[in-house]
Structure 1
Amino acid sequence: MRYLIEEKGLRQRSIYQYQIFLRQFAAYLERIRVDNLAKLSPTVLSGFIAEYAPPRVSWSTVRNACGVLRVFLRYLNREGVMAKDLSSLVEFPQSYRHAGVPRSISWEQVEQVLAGIDRRSASGKRDYAMMLLLATYGLRAAEVASLTLDDIDWRNERLKIRERKAGNTTTYPLSAAVGAAIVEYLKNGRPATTCREVFMRCCAPHAPIGSAAVVCRAAHFIRKAGIRVPRAGSHVLRHSCVQRLLNANFSLKHIGDYVGHRSASSTQIYGKIAVEQLREVAFGNGEDVL
């Protein structure tokens, strides 16, 4: 980890992803009883990748795991732990950009998810506010988890999202429904703490909630509503926000700016769920649409 921070200059979020993948690799080695990293072989490496493949995780996650593994193998060779650099033997699985379809659900289903949250409890008040943020602004789980009290401008009714994945900061108008949900949580659900993060764990120790917890809570309420969707989680609500903007005829450029995409190409995949525009193409008016 010190090498990744001091020499490669990775951000803390990237370090966290490295830790997740390397822990899983360590658990795999323990299970197959490889107790010395010098004994790593192409067979061991390919076995880990094969076990890690879909349907357990998405292909993009497999690619990320392969990237982490390659860096780790190069490091082992540099440090003299392994005589040969095996990183070139870890091949990235073939995948195609925009090959999938965003995991959106209808707005009626989003309302079902929100209705299934018991807002009488402290955790319910917190979860309702978090789910509203995901669905209304299309935020990422990490952006919800890192939201602080200083990011909410109550006087001017503004909500600031800092340090987005694209490296920018976005300011939104504060929705009345979102504002009311956050106020209800702050007054009647949030534990007493000196932390500036808005959303906290309900059980001691009262620390700020993490992005993984936001993902898990979203998945829980989606399943509770009886909605079947691949890999239920916070991104389903993010995609549903984009679907709603598409249905309201917003351009992909405006949508990309709204949800914090780094480039316009990241938004292009949502053209697959622009149902009304695609229907016009199918009816023969494609040139007018394009």
Structure 2
Amino acid sequence: MLEHYYFRPETVDRIRASWLAPAIEEYVTWLTEAHYTARSVLHRVPVLMSFGEYAKAHGARDFAQLSDYVEPFVQTWIRRHGRGRSAARRSKFSHEVRNPICQMLRLVVEGYDGPGRPHKPDNPFEREAPHFMAFLVEEKGLRPRTILHYRFHLHQFATHLERNGIRLRAVSPTVISGFIAEYGPRIAWTTLRNACGTLRVFLRYLYREGVLSRDLSPLVEFPQSYRHASIPRSISWDQVEQVLASVDRRSPCGRRDYAMLLLLATYGLRACEVASLTLDDIDWRNERFRIRDRKAGNTTTYPLSAVAGSAIVDYLKNGRPATTHREVFMRMSAPLAPIGHAAVVCRAAHFIRKAGVNVPRAGSHVLRHSCVQRLLNAHFSLKHIGDYVGHRSISSTQIYGKLAIDQLRDVAQGDGEDVL
């Protein structure tokens, strides 16, 4: 594989003379399979060669010992090559040096995870409630993404108890109130509401399992909120068309983004549903596609509109990289992998801002709101709209289409005579 990038035989011989040669060749093969550019490969191999020489000079004898020399080598490299750079540029420069080394070590050293943040246990209360996560899956039937939110809030609660030296069995109403009072001001009320819900479920489970002698869950009060207090994040359809028009479809990335935005705006899909769409979900013969495993636990089949279908075909023919992955939408930069839901949110937010549309919390859900608002303006019933966008309860649909924004705006701007 090295001959694919280096034309001079002596260069290849020099690389293969290194004691890290097997690891470097395996890493170069991985870079090629992940669709990294030749320029990226040629930039990384010299760094790995220098790292091998540094580690050997400082006592490394096998691959398992290399992890001890990563940070010292990075600091030495920065002192040597990072003079005169700003602090931000040095930080980015150190990442460019550290990243290829860590990638290579993940391939050749079993169990190596790299520097990164320390891994937190799935259940911070493993000793007192070891089966709580299984309870969430088997009895409550929660999805993995929901369980991630449970884990996050439980870690916050565990940190509060540890900081104050309180054992779980000694939790009292005062302790719970102190946690909510401390945690609440740092987060949005919706996050606090979810944290209170997590805490109630956890306390009820502890009482059932005998960890607590009293059921404290009723004492956890949800933050007070008023239904319909806020307006939806929808934008007008003219603004949606401005967002779509802001996408430059001459590039592969633009073709992909345009197809994703059309699905978001036309069908009111969630970002995770767009990211998980596969080639097998599209029935070209019957002009329809399906969204599997939705948030409500159902599967929805949609008619494939001519505009959305043409955009997807254009991307598949002229933009999608060659890959064995079945997901429709792929990353455009290495490593080659299906796009994640967070990237769909970021791309939607990017084009909303690019189009000059001002909206709180720009993202993919703005287009979902706009789809629901458009259906409401077309006088579809809430039941039909809820089925269309994948809601389990009609109350969820009411949250998206709370107010007739355009009509109220006309009233506010007029003299009020038409209302009388």
Normalised by the length of structure 1, the TM-score is 0.79
Match of 1:173 in 2: 303
Match of 2:163 in 1: 34
Report the more deviating stretch, 263-272 or 101-110: 263-272
Tell me: CA distance 1:33–1:190, structure 2 relative to 1, closer, same or farther (3 Å): farther
Report the more deviating stretch, 144-153 or 116-125: 116-125
Answer whether contact 1:152 1:160 (CA < 8 A) is retained: yes
Match of 1:93 in 2: 223
Match of 2:181 in 1: 46
Structure 2 residue runs of 5 or longer lacking an equivalent are 1-132, 412-416
Report the more deviating stretch, 128-137 or 138-147: 138-147
Answer whether contact 1:247 1:274 (CA < 8 A) is retained: no
Tell me: CA distance 1:122–1:141, structure 2 relative to 1, closer, same or farther (3 Å): same
Separation in structure 1 between the aligned mates of residue 221 and residue 207 of structure 2, nearest angstrom: 18
Q: Which structure 2 residues correspond to residues 123-272 of structure 1 after superposition, within 5 A?
A: 123-269=253-399, 270-272=401-403
CA deviation profile, 1:80-117 (whole Å, cap 9, x unmatched): 99998765554310123333222110111111211222
Separation in structure 1 between the aligned mates of residue 418 and residue 271 of structure 2, nearest angstrom: 39
Q: Residue 314 of structure 2 aligns to which amino acid in structure 1?
A: E
Q: Residue 177 of structure 1 aligns to which amino acid in structure 2?
A: V
Equivalenced residue count is 277
Separation in structure 2 between the aligned mates of residue 192 and residue 256 of structure 1, nearest angstrom: 37
Answer whether contact 1:261 1:267 (CA < 8 A) is retained: yes
Tell me: CA distance 1:262–1:74, structure 2 relative to 1, closer, same or farther (3 Å): closer
TM-superposed deviation, 1:153? 0.9
Separation in structure 1 between the aligned mates of residue 293 and residue 409 of structure 2, nearest angstrom: 35
Separation in structure 1 between the aligned mates of residue 333 and residue 203 of structure 2, nearest angstrom: 40
Tell me: CA distance 1:164–1:7, structure 2 relative to 1, closer, same or farther (3 Å): closer
Tell me: CA distance 1:249–1:204, structure 2 relative to 1, closer, same or farther (3 Å): same
TM-superposed deviation, 1:132? 0.7
Separation in structure 1 between the aligned mates of residue 298 and residue 230 of structure 2, nearest angstrom: 27
TM-superposed deviation, 1:260? 2.1
Tell me: CA distance 1:276–1:46, structure 2 relative to 1, closer, same or farther (3 Å): closer
Match of 1:13 in 2: 145
Tell me: CA distance 1:167–1:5, structure 2 relative to 1, closer, same or farther (3 Å): closer
Match of 2:136 in 1: 4
Separation in structure 1 between the aligned mates of residue 254 and residue 361 of structure 2, nearest angstrom: 22
SS in 2 for 1:272: coil
Tell me: CA distance 1:277–1:262, structure 2 relative to 1, closer, same or farther (3 Å): farther
Answer whether contact 1:149 1:198 (CA < 8 A) is retained: yes
TM-superposed deviation, 1:179? 1.0
Answer whether contact 2:207 2:215 (CA < 8 A) is retained: yes
Separation in structure 1 between the aligned mates of residue 279 and residue 355 of structure 2, nearest angstrom: 30
Answer whether contact 2:232 2:402 (CA < 8 A) is retained: no
TM-superposed deviation, 1:277? 9.8
Say which one has the larger Rg: 2
SS in 1 for 2:249: coil
Report the more deviating stretch, 5-14 or 269-278: 269-278
Tell me: CA distance 1:254–1:284, structure 2 relative to 1, closer, same or farther (3 Å): farther
Answer whether contact 2:228 2:402 (CA < 8 A) is retained: no
Match of 1:273 in 2: 404
Match of 1:288 in 2: none
Tell me: CA distance 1:14–1:99, structure 2 relative to 1, closer, same or farther (3 Å): same
Aligned-residue sequence identity (percent) comes to 68
Q: Which structure exhibits the higher relative contact order, with contacts defined as CA atoms closer than 8 Å and separated by 6 or more residues?
A: 1
Q: Residue 282 of structure 2 aligns to which amino acid in structure 1?
A: I
Match of 1:65 in 2: 195
TM-superposed deviation, 1:14? 1.6
Match of 1:112 in 2: 242
CA deviation profile, 1:128-173 (whole Å, cap 9, x unmatched): 1111101011111122122111111111111212222333322222
Structure 1 residue runs of 5 or longer lacking an equivalent are 286-290
**Root-mean-square deviation over aligned CA pairs:** 3.4
Tell me: CA distance 1:21–1:226, structure 2 relative to 1, closer, same or farther (3 Å): farther
